[in-house]
Amino acid sequence: MNFSESDAISSDASEGDKAEHDVAAETEGWRTTLREEIVALHQKGEAYTILSLVSTFTENKTRPWDPLLLWVQPQPCCLSALAAHVRAANISALVSVGCGTGLLEWLIQAITGLSVVGYEVNASWWTSKYAPPTFIPLTFVDQEAPPPKVPHTHALMCCYFNNAKVFRQYVSAYEGPVLLIIGATSGDRHTDPHPLDYVDRDTWRLTLTHRISTHDLLAGYHRQTR
């Protein structure tokens, strides 16, 4: 039996397809296992264990972090700094717009005691079988209507938001004293607004910067009183 060059190419292609399939299956496998692990810890209320687990993941490693669970990988000091900034304005609650799974928000609530509300859009997606797990009850807002007014008794927060125009609408309607923005500080990742976009803007004064990672920054603002 003759083994032609075209047969060799076909065989190589088949091996390549198989290898790609194996990598994809392996990736989906660790992602599923990680999500199950995080969900189990959440159900047990083990917030510090989740933070310890998060800290073991770094980019470009054999077991990368699942960003759909949480865009940033904070340590307890990050959450403590955030909570102290909120409480300095004599409030003890926050609204996170575009909160995703709510894992960050649950960690904030579990570790710092702040009361947290999470706003999201697209209820059909978040309640579908394809969505990642959620860790707090999500408050769904109408994507076609003006954003709801965040209570002045709550801080206004976003983490890796991706629509500066919509966020400005939230800020314009907000009458409370605290603004928190978590996002990227390099061009490698996209965030809109940028954490430092509100420096000396309107009545906002930058009063906190806390480095979460080489890529991520927490910026906190207090409203200036005249």
Q: What tens digit of pLDDT does each residue of 160-217 get?
A: 999 999 999 999 999 999 999 999 987 677 899 999 999 989 999 999 999 998 889 9
pLDDT at 225 over 90: no
Instruction: Give the total number of structural domains in the chain.
Output: 2
Q: What tens digit of pLDDT does each residue of 104-142 get?
A: 999 999 999 999 999 999 999 999 999 999 999 999 999
User: Is the sign of the CA dihedral 205, 186, 94, 52 positive or negative?
Assistant: negative
Same domain, 85 and 193: yes
If DSSP codes are grouped into helix, strand and coil, which group holds residue 142?
A: coil
Report the predicted TM-score, pTM, of the whole model to 2 decimal places: 0.83
98 residue type, one letter? G
Q: How far apart are CA 139 and CA 118, in angstroms?
A: 6
pLDDT at 203: 93
pLDDT at 163: 94
27 assigned to some structural domain: yes
CA distances from 119 to 4, 22, 110, 138, 169 (A): 60, 37, 18, 6, 14
* Residue predicted with more confidence, 8 or 191: 191
pLDDT at 27 over 60: no
Same domain, 97 and 170: yes
Which residues form the domain of 13? 5-55
Q: What tens digit of pLDDT does each residue of 31-71 get?
A: 568 899 999 999 999 999 999 998 887 655 666 788 899 99
Same domain, 26 and 94: no
